[in-house]
Structure 1
Amino acid sequence: MVDNQPVRTSTLAIVAIILAIVVPVAGIVVGIIARRQVIRTGEQGRGLSTAAIIVGIALTVFGFLPLLIVLPDLVQIYG
């Protein structure tokens, strides 16, 4: 008997990409968990989980980058 049901997309991968945009560090963690789950279960969503990891890392780096650029000036002024 042939099963013609489409393969489900991992809910965790969808949550990961949303979290990566809203709370980048949480998106990275959930993205890693979702990626492992997708590989284990065979669900779709590997690309979403990978994107969540990449977006989470990028937004985290770009979020801290201005602070690192301004930090020496702040130390000079207030330090």
Structure 2
Amino acid sequence: PERPGALMKFLDALGDRWNISLFHYRNHGADPGRVLAGFEVPPGDDEAFAAFLDRLGYPYAHEIGNPAYSLFLA
């Protein structure tokens, strides 16, 4: 959500368990801002990370199956 302190709240909740490896924020006038974030999640930690994202309540999508991921980020 776009409001003062939203990023800090997210970073505080994230703590130091997972690393942010990519962060891009885009805002166009009255449109909602969009964030592309990549995280380093150790093997076996997928369920805990998904639970963390669910607790935050922000909408999110896994893009690992997106062809653009394979072309530009992998």
* TM-score, normalization by structure 2: 0.30
Q: Which has the higher helix share?
A: 1
- Structure with bigger RCO (C-alpha 8 Å, 6+ apart): 1
Work out which of the two has the higher radius of gyration on C-alpha atoms and give 1 or 2: 1
- Higher strand proportion (structure 1 or 2): 2
